[in-house]
Amino acid sequence: MAKQPLIAIAGMPNSGKSALFNRLTGSRQKVANYAGVTVERKEGAFTTPAGHACRLLDLPGAYSLRARSPDEAVTRDVLLGRLADIERPDFLICVADATNLKLHLRFTLEAKALGVPMVLALNMFDIADRRKFSIDAAELSRLLGIPVVPTVAVRGGKVEALLTVVDQYLANPVPHPAPTTWTEPTTGDLRALNRQAMALLDQAGVAYGVPPVTSYAIDRVLLHPVFGLLILMGLMFFVFQSVFTWSAWPMDQIDGAATALGAWLGDQLPDGLFRSFIVDGVVAGIGSVIVFLPQILVLYFFILVLEDSGYMARAAFLLDRLMGGVGLHGKSFIPLLSSFACAIPGVMAARTIEHKPDRLTTILLAPLMTCSARLPVYTLLIAAFVPNRDVAGGINLQGLVMFGLYMAALTTGLLVAFVLKRFVYTEQVDSFVMELPTYKLPTLHNIVFGLLERARIFLRRAGGIIFVVMVVIWVLSTFGPSGISENIEQSFAGIIGIALAPLFAPIGFSWQMVIALIPGMAAREVAVTVLGTVYAISADNEEGLASGLATTLQSSWALPAAISFLVWYIFAPQCISTLAVIRRETNSTRFMWATFGYLFVLAYVMSFLAFQISSALLG
Amino acid sequence: MKLSTLRRGQQARIHQIDASDSLTRKLLEMGLEEGMDVTLLHEGPIARDPIAIRIAGDRVIALRRRDADAIHLSPLS
């Protein structure tokens, strides 16, 4: 064989397929997208004990090959050799949960009809052993007519038998795989396949062991109508807190390192355009990308733990009705939660939602969740305009306003979802049928690999976009019509800001405020720096800048304008990177503009109301 | 009797699945089938929706009451 053989892993969700993939490939894996669709293509490499170097493809989990979601379509099309960007696999490892064979064997039978030479891996065999299942792999193999091996993908695991089968195949490969006999199964076919699977298990003398009683006991608490919901809320609160507290130190370090690197480069390079480009464009740009990485990793750590343990399905169960009431899906929960750190991973996480209207609604809502880049702006304005005193019951007024800003965004998000369901995505709601898998202890191995994968995806997909935006914004704020501009008012950004000022006059923005919005499009928190520049605040560090700026703003902004600016920040589509990711994930420029349009209108109307009402009240 | 009217802890047998073609296929793919015994384990916190049922093979499946409406049950003999 001239080329390295391609081996595919396929199986139902919860079969431990990805754990097996991680176990076989270790760190030798990469993630890309299949051409034209937003389905992740996970490929890795490994060498068999006999020394065959292979490529390994982790196909998306599928309940069937009928392909009701883009993920399932990819699994089917790859195995049928229908995709242009990857050849048909030489060999298939079909993974089944050994404790759930009645269900998983039906998929195996369906996959067998595809004609690719295959092996059935009875995964999580250790759990089946512990629960006293009796499974005769040799007998199953004889009845199915394909090799069947027990595997354990986690905790050191055993995959030797599987690798032996792969070696046996590679020593004697079939040059032309059998023709496909697969056709899309009708309900009749599915019933027949289910019966066939049952009969096979009976014949092979497979005996079920003890039920997962521990799982049932945990569910009685975690799915309790009252305690279950309280625990979920407590957990969400803990996750949310941790995203900010655990990441504070690394974020400071990254910020400090970027500033130090910028300062050092500034000393090394001669004064001029090139230095400004490197320090303010490139270094600041890269810094603003990686500064979000700690938050995203903390968030994904929790998501991976909750997903691996089986809790995420329970969270979807508890929240489905609440979310469903406004036209969302139980699965919208993770993308929206992620968006509190940053809307970009939130929008990317929405791809797990099969039903398209639910997915699009979730994406439309993601930028409304209060991402952490808004915090510096909120903090600055609250410090400047909200008195730091206690209101009734020892509650701090500044804290209360901050909480109000979060709640305003969340409530609006739910209202928007409701309106969308009522007037836009009015078609029949999707059905929600979901397995609640037995609880499992998450494994460190899987979590580490998951985090590395997420970090790589974020840096590659979002990093490029954020970086380009930062550089463009640097160009706009550095150059003006007459070349390099000395102050920001004469730069292109300043000219655009001043030109747009009349548009923003009804909502109370001065031209200084409008100028801050433009570089703020790169990343919201940049607006603070720009305000510092506009008001010519010079300070050596951020704290100095913030306190100096707060004092200046107090004297130069009227309270209604400040309120209007805060309200604007709740809603406005102030982040080009998010919009670019939305375009990418939906494959639609129109959808991106629709998102921009609705958020802009929402922000404008709300700021207008806030400004006019507060002006009238404060006279 | 329908699956949507089963009470918590109650057990019955699936008599007939009377759903759209796509929902029927989805249910079959999830392993729900005529002749199978189901027990209602949990109900969601709001409007007792969705529901979680235990089916053969010691599996737990969650579904919305709307979808459960399409599953007709017969009492266990």
Residue B27 in contact with partner chain A when CB distance is under 8 A: yes
Look up residue A49 and give its amino acid: P
pLDDT at B2: 92
Q: Which residue in chain B is spatially nearest to A105 when comparing CA positions?
A: B31
Could you tell me which of A370, A383, A341 has the C-alpha nearest to residue A542?
A383
My answer on whether A158 and A16 are in the same domain is: yes
CB-based contact A296:A430 (threshold 8 Å): no
B52 and A223: CB-CB below 8 Å? yes
Interface test with A, best of B4, B38, B41, B60 (most A CBs within 10 A): B60
CB-based contact A263:A241 (threshold 8 Å): no
A 178-217 residues with CB < 8 A to B: 185-187, 190-191, 194, 208, 211-212, 215-216
Residues in chain B within 8 Å Cβ distance of A321: 44-47, 49-50
Q: Extract the tokens encoding A588.
A: 């639609």
My answer on whether A177 and A253 are in the same domain is: no
Residue A68 in contact with partner chain B when CB distance is under 8 A: yes
Taken in order A578, A583, A586, A591, the sign of the CA dihedral is positive
Question: Which residues of chain A carry a pLDDT beneath 50?
Answer: 1
Q: Which domain holds residue A575?
A: 462-618
Q: Extract the tokens encoding A120.
A: 């059935």
Residue B63 in contact with partner chain A when CB distance is under 8 A: yes
CA A299 to chain CA mean position, Å:
10
The CA distance from A433 to B63, in Å, is 4
Interface test with B, best of A75, A101, A103 (most B CBs within 10 A): A103
B62 and A321: CB-CB below 8 Å? no
A432 and B62: CB-CB below 8 Å? yes
pLDDT at A1: 45
My answer on whether A414 and A510 are in the same domain is: no
Residues in chain B within 8 Å Cβ distance of A324: 64
Kindly state whether residue A535 falls inside one of the protein's structural domains.
yes
Could you tell me which of A485, A489, A507 has the C-alpha nearest to residue A498?
A489
Give the nearest partner residue to A321 out of B25, B46, B58, using CB atoms: B46
Q: Give the position of tokens 């396929």.
A: A10
pLDDT at A540: 52
Kindly state whether residue A219 falls inside one of the protein's structural domains.
no
Kindly state whether residue A58 falls inside one of the protein's structural domains.
yes
My answer on whether A142 and A252 are in the same domain is: no
Calculate ∠ Cα A495-A498-A503, nearest 5°.
130
CA A102 to chain CA mean position, Å:
32
pLDDT at A366: 94
Using left for φ > 0, alpha for ψ between -120 and 50, and beta otherwise, residue B75 falls in beta
E strand intervals along A188-266: none
Kindly state whether residue A387 falls inside one of the protein's structural domains.
no
The CA distance from A461 to A344, in Å, is 10
Q: What is the ipTM of this complex?
A: 0.96
pLDDT at A193: 92
A 279-318 residues with CB < 8 A to B: 313, 316-318
Kindly state whether residue A445 falls inside one of the protein's structural domains.
no
Residue A422 in contact with partner chain B when CB distance is under 8 A: no
My answer on whether A172 and A268 are in the same domain is: no
My answer on whether A82 and A149 are in the same domain is: yes
Kindly state whether residue A1 falls inside one of the protein's structural domains.
no
Residues in chain B within 8 Å Cβ distance of A68: 22, 26
The CA distance from A409 to A421, in Å, is 18
Q: What's the gap in Å between the CA of A236 and the closest CA on chain B?
A: 17
CB-based contact A363:A357 (threshold 8 Å): no
My answer on whether A129 and A259 are in the same domain is: no
- H/E segment holding residue A578: helix A576-586
Q: Which residue in chain B is spatially nearest to A313 when comparing CA positions?
A: B62
My answer on whether A580 and A541 are in the same domain is: yes
Q: Which residue in chain A is spatially nearest to B70 when comparing CA positions?
A: A431
Q: Extract the tokens encoding A406.
A: 């979060």
Q: Please tell me the pTM assigned to this model.
A: 0.84
The superfamily in CATH containing domain B3-74 is: Ferrous iron transport protein A (FeoA) (2.30.30.90)
My answer on whether A204 and A258 are in the same domain is: no
My answer on whether A492 and A570 are in the same domain is: yes
Please tell me what DSSP assigns to residue A207: B
- What is the β-pairing status of strands B71-74 and B37-46? unpaired
Q: Which CATH number is A25's domain given?
A: 3.40.50.300
Look up residue A399 and give its amino acid: G
Kindly state whether residue A565 falls inside one of the protein's structural domains.
yes
SS3 sequence of A74-136: HHHHHHCCCCCCCCCCCEEEEEEEHHHHHHHHHHHHHHHCCCCCEEEEEECHHHHHHCCCECC
pLDDT at A543: 62
Interface test with B, best of A124, A131, A187 (most B CBs within 10 A): A187
Residues in chain A within 8 Å Cβ distance of B48: 225
Q: Extract the tokens encoding B19.
A: 């759903």
Count of CB contacts below 8 A, A vs B?
113
Calculate ∠ Cα B33-A430-B1, nearest 5°.
40
pLDDT at A545: 67
Kindly state whether residue A388 falls inside one of the protein's structural domains.
no
Number of domains in chain A: 3
Residues in chain A within 8 Å Cβ distance of B33: 191, 194
Residues in chain B within 8 Å Cβ distance of A429: 66
Chosen domain end from A176, A211, A246:
A211
Interface test with A, best of B14, B58, B69 (most A CBs within 10 A): B58
Look up residue A160 and give its amino acid: E
The CA distance from A285 to A241, in Å, is 27
Taken in order A347, A348, A353, A359, the sign of the CA dihedral is positive
Residue B73 in contact with partner chain A when CB distance is under 8 A: no
The CA distance from A66 to A335, in Å, is 26
My answer on whether A159 and A276 are in the same domain is: no
Residues in chain B within 8 Å Cβ distance of A106: 29, 31
My answer on whether A255 and A142 are in the same domain is: no
Residue A414 in contact with partner chain B when CB distance is under 8 A: no
